Amino acid sequence: MEIERINDHTVKFYLSYVDIEERGFTREEVWNNRERSEELFWDMMDEINEQAEFAVEGPLWIQVHAKQDGIEVTVTRALTEDGQMLDSPFYNEDPNKVFHEKEDGTFESIEDLLKNNLDTESEWTDNTFLFNEFEDVIQIASRMRKFEAHTSLYAYESNYYLHVSYDGELMTNKNKTDFFSVLSEFAKPSDVTIHLLKEYGTVVFESDVFPQIEKYFK
C-alpha cells in the first residue's frame, strides 16, 4: 500500500488488488460486499494512522477511484478543529468516479455511513442517526433548538434511531451541514431506513423529538 499525506485534513492511499488479496479480501468483495468493503476500509485507516498519524476524528469525505490494477482512496476530514463542516472537496468531480451504489449494484463506500447526499440540495432530504444511549439524546437536545427539521425517534435492537426530514424551504444545505455536524458529536449516521423503523422499531417520539425531550427530561 502506498500512502500520501496531502495536508493536515487529507490523506490518499493506493491499494493494488494484489495488496487486497494478501489482506484476505477479493476484488468482488471490495465492490459488491458492503460489510467486507467497510472492514477493509477501516483496516486501512488503522494502518494509515500508524504510518501517517492520520486519526479518524468525526465525519469524513471519501472518494475512491477505480484503477486498472487497484483502487486509489482519498480521505478528508469533514470537520475543522473548531467543529465547522467543510464543503465536500469532491463536489465538482465526476460522480461516476465516486465510490457509490448504482443501479447495477456496484457498492458505494463507507461515506454513506457518515453522511448521505450532502452535495445537492434536491437530493439531501433526510438522514437517520444512531444513538447508543437515550442519555445521549437528552444531552444534545438543548443544542438543537435553532434547527427547523422534522424529527422522530425510535427504539430498535437496543439502540435509539433519530430520523430527520429536511424542509428545503426552511433549511439550506448550510443549515443541514451544521445540524449534521452537531448531531455527529453524539450519534453516528446510519443507513437504517425510516420504513424499517416504522415496521420493526418502537416509537419513542413520533415528532418534535428535541422539544419533547426538553419538556420531559430537563
* pLDDT single digits (tens) 53-107: 777 666 777 777 776 678 888 887 766 555 555 555 444 443 333 333 333 333 3
Q: b/e for 118-134, b at 16 or more Cβ within 10 A? A: bbeeeebeebbbbbeee
Residue 138 pLDDT > 90: yes
Q: Nearest-CA neighbor of 160 among 152, 168, 169, 149?
A: 152
CB 12 within 8 A of CB 74: yes
- Out of 16-25, 27-36, 148-157, the most confident range is 148-157
Q: Is 159 exposed, middle or buried (0-12, 13-18, 19+ CB in 10 A)?
A: middle
CA distance 149 to 146: 9
Q: Nearest-CA neighbor of 76 among 98, 104, 96, 101?
A: 98
CA distance 95 to 115: 16
Task: Tell me the three state secondary structure of residue 115.
Answer: coil
Please name the residue that has the C-alpha cell 485534513. Answer: 9
E-strand spans in 46-187?
60-66, 70-77, 126-131, 150-156, 159-165
Q: Which range, of 35-49, 115-129, 190-204, averages the lowest pLDDT?
A: 115-129
Give the mean pLDDT of the chain: 76
pLDDT at 44: 85
The pLDDT tens digits of the residues spanning 179-203 come to 887 888 888 888 788 888 998 999 9
**Residue ranges of domains in the chain, CATH in brackets:** 2-112 (no CATH), 126-217 (3.30.70.1950)
CA distance 139 to 136: 5
